Structure 1
Amino acid sequence: MSAAGGGPVAVIGLGSMGGGMAHALVAAGFPVVVSNRTMAKAEPLGRAGAVVATSARAAVTGARVVLLSLADEDAVTDVLFGELSGALVPGTTVVDTTTVSPGFAREAADKLAADGVRRVEACVVGNPQMAAAGRVRVFAAGAVPDVDRVRDVLDAIGQEVRHLGDTGAASVLKLAFNLLLGVQTVALAEAVSFVEAAGLGRELLLTAIENSGWSSPVLGFRSKFMRERDYRDAGFRAVLMHKDLALARAEALEHGVEMPLLRQAVDDYDLVLRAGRGDDDAAVVVEVRPTPADRR
């Protein structure tokens, strides 16, 4: 199988989600070329059948679809408008799964369009295991013909693909999802801290939650890290949680909406980063609790 327009699919960024999506594409029969700054992350994909490129620029040679899964807006700027400047031929479609602000998404689409390159916003919801199985949920935005052109790629990585409308719409929805995730994770951490301060163990609480109406796949995933007190390998790094919550808060303020719970979650994850725990899973917030002074 090949992507719409022929040629391989280039996947740039092989973190937990990007690597998983690349595996799903290989399993679906696509010719896949991968690139990552840390080459060791590309080795499992090479064994699975992907071609491992020596650079992002080499990876996109001959590709008509380029899937990005990067950490943040700075990384997208460095790769898309730095390393790949002039390397994407007109007619190429960039499927960007990076979580960015709606404004950045629109700016990136406009810059690429000036060079004849299309951008499909493809925000994904799920965890690394779902990504590797091709079972994430994909919320796409951009021109309908552009989304249709890469529908086979989106179907290979997602159990559900939904087109939301113009560029920026998918970023808004993804930030809303991560807002809920961040606030719920902080709330779970507070519940754990509360019962431990009262003399009960976290195991008792987390087990009780799992067997109650408060259970959910999202909280269950974070509970596993909290129960084991082992926050590597991270499903969703705390530094990325902080980034997404800060993006959501900035977007809300731009629209005149104040969100006190979101503000507090941003502050809590700021403490996590200052404690040097940014590469741990976001559940590590339970180990870095604010003091009363931090709440002032």
Structure 2
Amino acid sequence: MAIKSVTVIGLGGMGGGMAHSLLREGFAVTVFNRSAEKAMPLVRAGAVHAETVAGAVAGADALVLSLADESAVDELMSDEVVSRLEPGTVIVDTTTVSPSYARDAAARLAASGVERLEACVVGNPEMAMAGRLRVFVSGEESTVDLLEPLLSALAQEIRYLGAAGSASALKLALNLLLGVQTAALAEAADFAEASGLGRELLLDVVLNSGWRSPVLGFRAEFMRRRVYRPAGFRTVLMHKDLDLALRQAASYRLPLPLTRQAAGRFETAIGQGRGADDAAVVVEVSA
């Protein structure tokens, strides 16, 4: 079965970008977001806006989810909604969830005749808009092959990882590294400023030396401009992902002391009202 109609649920920076990319590649795209105003740019670009989740999923060959957390997935993909899906419908879930949740969700959906692919998407909203993400997928390999045209519309690289839970584990490992690096960059900037060097000098050296990386460069630019909205990756989501990693690690009896320290710093930022800001705002947060 060729995938022609795609519903995208969740139109934040990543979800909205992916929906634009699918439109550009010729898919018939329906969109839904709890805040309907986020759908309007996509409607102007040719998408159909559904006012309800049930209306959004009706007749779709595939669904792409880009939601905040596990509870949002459970809320929008309720039994009532899933029962409206045609057998064989594929859900591509790009939401960052725990490996345990991913395996349970795949089993629940399979019982309803619906397939779930979990997709670890690596990149930022600009890359999502350009169809230049890197996508690491787990689930049934034959289903990944079936959805290759859809995934190719989103990604410059697609890699199959294996059984359910694999992509979620990779995403948490990557975001663990991102959170620790972002917190470390913030501390380096704090140290430079306390030493009288200035934040800008430290960030300039980082961005023009062997310490530079695309990930650190993206966060460093927020810190340099001291402007944290619109966020590339909200602080509240960074903390959520570090917490997921810590909870999953606890089930392995694996201590992650650096991750725990970094999570605490992002939690402080949230407590100071900066949860909607980009995670780079941690540089502005007093301990």
Instruction: Give yes or no for TM over 0.5.
Output: yes
TM-score (norm 2): 0.98
Classify the secondary structure of the residue corresponding to 1:164: strand
Query: Is 166-175 or 248-257 further displaced after alignment?
Result: 248-257
Given residue 101 of structure 2, which amino acid in structure 1 is its aligned partner? F
The answer for the alignment partner of 1:146 in structure 2 is 143
* 1:82-231 → structure 2 map (5 Å cutoff): 84-231=81-228
8 Å CA contact retained: 2:117, 2:137: yes
The answer for the alignment partner of 1:34 in structure 2 is 31
8 Å CA contact retained: 2:59, 2:85: no
8 Å CA contact retained: 1:233, 1:280: yes
Q: Matched residues, percent identical?
A: 59
Unpaired runs of 5+ in structure 2? none
Aligned partner (choices 233, 244, 266) of residue 269 of structure 1: 266
Q: Give the whole-Å Cα distance in 1 for the aligned partners of 2:208 and 2:159.
A: 32
Given residue 199 of structure 1, which amino acid in structure 2 is its aligned partner? G
Q: CA RMSD in A?
A: 1.1
8 Å CA contact retained: 1:206, 1:227: yes
Task: Name the CA shift for 1:83/1:198 in 2 (closer, same or farther; >3 Å).
Answer: farther
8 Å CA contact retained: 2:6, 2:61: yes
Report the CA distance between 1:289 and its aligned residue: 3.1
Given residue 133 of structure 1, which amino acid in structure 2 is its aligned partner? A
Classify the secondary structure of the residue corresponding to 1:212: coil
* 1:276-287 → structure 2 map (5 Å cutoff): 276-287=273-284
Unpaired runs of 5+ in structure 1? 291-296
Given residue 222 of structure 1, which amino acid in structure 2 is its aligned partner? R
Alignment of 1:260 with 2:257, yes or no, is yes
Report the CA distance between 1:131 and its aligned residue: 0.3
Query: Is 57-66 or 85-94 further displaced after alignment?
Result: 85-94
Q: Give the whole-Å Cα distance in 2 for the aligned partners of 1:187 and 1:239.
A: 18
Segments of 4+ moved more than 3 angstroms:
4-7
Aligned length: 287
8 Å CA contact retained: 2:13, 2:232: yes
8 Å CA contact retained: 2:4, 2:27: no
The answer for the alignment partner of 2:241 in structure 1 is 244
Q: Give the whole-Å Cα distance in 1 for the aligned partners of 2:228 and 2:96.
A: 22
Classify the secondary structure of the residue corresponding to 1:62: coil
Q: Give the whole-Å Cα distance in 1 for the aligned partners of 2:166 and 2:210.
A: 32
Classify the secondary structure of the residue corresponding to 1:63: coil
Q: Give the whole-Å Cα distance in 2 for the aligned partners of 1:125 and 1:143.
A: 21
Classify the secondary structure of the residue corresponding to 1:145: helix
Alignment of 1:20 with 2:22, yes or no, is no
8 Å CA contact retained: 1:16, 1:235: yes
8 Å CA contact retained: 2:183, 2:283: yes
Q: Give the whole-Å Cα distance in 2 for the aligned partners of 1:212 and 1:5.
A: 47
8 Å CA contact retained: 1:106, 1:168: yes
Question: Per-residue displacement from partner, 1:30-49 (whole Å, max 9, x unpaired)?
Answer: 11011111111101101111
TM-score (norm 1): 0.95
Q: Give the whole-Å Cα distance in 1 for the aligned partners of 2:26 and 2:277.
A: 33
Q: Give the whole-Å Cα distance in 2 for the aligned partners of 1:110 and 1:6.
A: 23
Given residue 146 of structure 2, which amino acid in structure 1 is its aligned partner? R
Report the CA distance between 1:6 and its aligned residue: 4.7
Task: Name the CA shift for 1:152/1:288 in 2 (closer, same or farther; >3 Å).
Answer: same
Aligned partner (choices 62, 66, 69) of residue 69 of structure 1: 66
Q: Give the whole-Å Cα distance in 1 for the aligned partners of 2:148 and 2:234.
A: 29
Q: Give the whole-Å Cα distance in 1 for the aligned partners of 2:3 and 2:231.
A: 35
